Amino acid sequence: MFLILEVFLISYLIGSIPTAYIAVRRKSHIDIRSAGSGNVGTMNAYEVTGSRIVGVAVLFVDAAKGAGAIVFTMRFLGHSEDAVAASLIGVVVGHCFPIWLKFKGGRGLAAAAGGMLVLDWPFVLVWLVCWIIGYSIIKDVHFGNIVAIVATPLMGWMMPQEILLRYLAGPFSSTEFLAVYSLVSAILLIRHIAPIRQLFWPSTNNGN
């Protein structure tokens, strides 16, 4: 139990590195939490600075946090399903709720994608396909995110087990992996509550 807690905390600290906050501070001397959407993530970093380089750099580093936490855990902290699961959950929670920014972070997508690239990279492709379908409906990035967050684990549960296991790294069974992935998706969905409100109940955001 102590090892699992240790893995979670180390991965949390890796995930909590506020990449977008640091990048925007250095580029524009702005606190990203009080600019644009207030989200400490790739899209807002790009929109606030107007720099594609900043946006791409934030995306790359945040994805690297997710991948790095999983690789570090599997190499040095334990290869059990509990340890790897704690690492994936920890790095996503750290990105979404970083202690350094009073728990106001990003929406976790890049960190989750980085971790998934290590654990089962085809899921990232499935996510992208679901996102494209969602985005094409109303041409809204957040709606694409929400569709992909919800649809990808559902598609995973419907996939034949042998397809999941073919590319799955780590000690998971297909059921264990999907359970962990579904929990991560729930965390991502929680961080999309604000965009969901803006999409479907815009009047509530204007005090009407």
Q: What is the pLDDT of residue 166?
A: 85
Q: What is the pLDDT of residue 165?
A: 81
Q: Would you say residue 207 has pLDDT above 80? A: no
The model's pLDDT over 48-70, given as tens digits with 9 standing for 90+, comes to: 999 999 999 999 999 999 999 99
Virtual torsion, Cα 61, 65, 68, 73, nearest 10 deg: 170
The model's pLDDT over 169-191, given as tens digits with 9 standing for 90+, comes to: 877 888 899 999 999 999 999 99
The model's pLDDT over 102-131, given as tens digits with 9 standing for 90+, comes to: 999 999 999 999 999 999 998 999 999 999
> pLDDT tier at 208 (50, 70, 90 boundaries)?
very low
2 class by beta-carbon count within 10 Å (0-12 exposed, 13-18 middle, 19+ buried)? exposed
Average pLDDT over residues 132-156: 94
Virtual torsion, Cα 8, 10, 16, 17, nearest 10 deg: -160
The model's pLDDT over 12-43, given as tens digits with 9 standing for 90+, comes to: 999 999 999 999 999 999 999 999 889 999 99
> pLDDT tier at 201 (50, 70, 90 boundaries)?
confident
Q: Which amino acid is at 41?
A: G
Q: What is the pLDDT of residue 204?
A: 57
3 state SS of 128:
helix
Q: What is the pLDDT of residue 161?
A: 81
Q: What is the pLDDT of residue 154?
A: 94
Share of the chain above pLDDT 70, in %: 96
Distance, in Å, from the CA atom of 14 to the CA atom of 132, rounded to the nearest integer, reads 29
